[in-house]
Amino acid sequence: MAKSAATKNPAAKSTKATSGRPAGLFTWLAVGLVVVVVATLVIIKVTTGSSTPGNSSFQPADAATVAELTKIPASVFNTVGVTSPVATITAPIPLKGQPALTGKSSTGATLPKVFYLGGEYCPFCAAQRWSTIIALSRFGTWSGLGNMASSTLTGEIYPGTPTFTFVKATYKSKYLVFSGVEQYNNVFNTALNFYSPLQKPTAAERANFKKYDTSKYIPGITAQQDYSIPYMSIGNRFLISGSSYTPATLANLTRAQIASGLSDPTSPVTDAIIASANYQAAAFCSLTKNQPGNVCTSGGVMAARKAMGLK
């Protein structure tokens, strides 16, 4: 059977948008590894490997595509809200009573930190990056985003899912700090029998991942499903473990087609991406004391706040 798009000893899980409990699980064996896949939300277990650089080449995202991604009209967010006709959208998981996660901005200010851990080969990370980039663009500016697609290795699930990479990205904001770590590239290394290592999280980021991306804090999973990607800590106030919508939503589309449709709230693909972005923006607003006001009081974010039970 073909290799799966999973790291060593991989696992995956699903979460209903409303309750965070498992749904629709099924399994298969691939090259001696067990991978669990679900219909609405799938994630891949990550290992903490070497920091040896990978060999994948970097292709900068063109300015026109970045503009389509980061300058979406406010009316689109407000029209879409938090639902999609083609995919279940999963909101960030609230986390209570934990130390705040902060970082230093480019100006030296201590701000709430958004930490992302993923891999370029991973189709679920590919889907998540679209909505995360869009949500964060409402609070700051991006530079250095690169074009990327998930692995196209024969037998991989959702092969070649179009996306971007954070490997050289810089994010500037007066509200938030962002740290994106792509642990592996999308080039299969036969010598390693896996994808080549690319970036390594800091010791503090690794500790955050090891503590919170577990069944103790992620509802509805087992210990065997711990340590999965994509993973995000939003200031240690919210967690995301897995893609917020299925990568199947992006199937058979190019990066340019997805980006050019982001200003069309009647597009089912746009709805899935924007609904996820609204949920993330609502979580960000809880860290920024509802700033900027035009974002945090907008209709789409308010709908997400209500759905998440936030005041």
Is 97 among the domain residues? Answer: yes
Residues with Cβ within 8 Å of residue 157, at least 6 apart in sequence = 4, 5, 37, 42, 123
Name the phi and psi angles at 60, rounded to 5.
-60, 140
Is 40 among the domain residues? Answer: no
pLDDT at 311: 80
Is 303 among the domain residues? Answer: yes
Is 8 among the domain residues? Answer: no
Lowest mean pLDDT among 28-42, 78-92, 193-207: 28-42
Is 25 among the domain residues? Answer: no
Rounded distance between C-alpha atoms, residue 105 and residue 86, angstroms? 37
Rounded distance between C-alpha atoms, residue 17 and residue 275, angstroms? 12
Is 2 among the domain residues? Answer: no
pLDDT at 62: 95
pTM across the whole model: 0.85
pLDDT at 198: 97
Name the phi and psi angles at 164, rounded to 5.
-135, 175
Alpha helices, DSSP H, located in the chain? 63-70, 74-80, 123-137, 203-212, 255-260, 268-287, 293-296, 299-308
User: How do residues 56-97 score in pLDDT, each as one tens digit?
Assistant: 589 999 999 999 999 999 999 999 999 999 999 999 999 999
Q: How many domains does the chain have?
A: 1
Is 32 among the domain residues? Answer: no
Domain span including residue 143? 45-308
Mean pLDDT of the region 177-181: 98
Is 10 among the domain residues? Answer: no
User: How do residues 211-254 score in pLDDT, each as one tens digit?
Assistant: 999 999 999 888 988 999 999 999 999 999 999 999 999 999 99
Mean pLDDT of the region 123-142: 98
User: How do residues 101-117 score in pLDDT, each as one tens digit?
Assistant: 999 998 999 999 999 99
Share of the chain above pLDDT 90, in %: 79
Task: For tokens 């699903």, name the residue.
Answer: 14
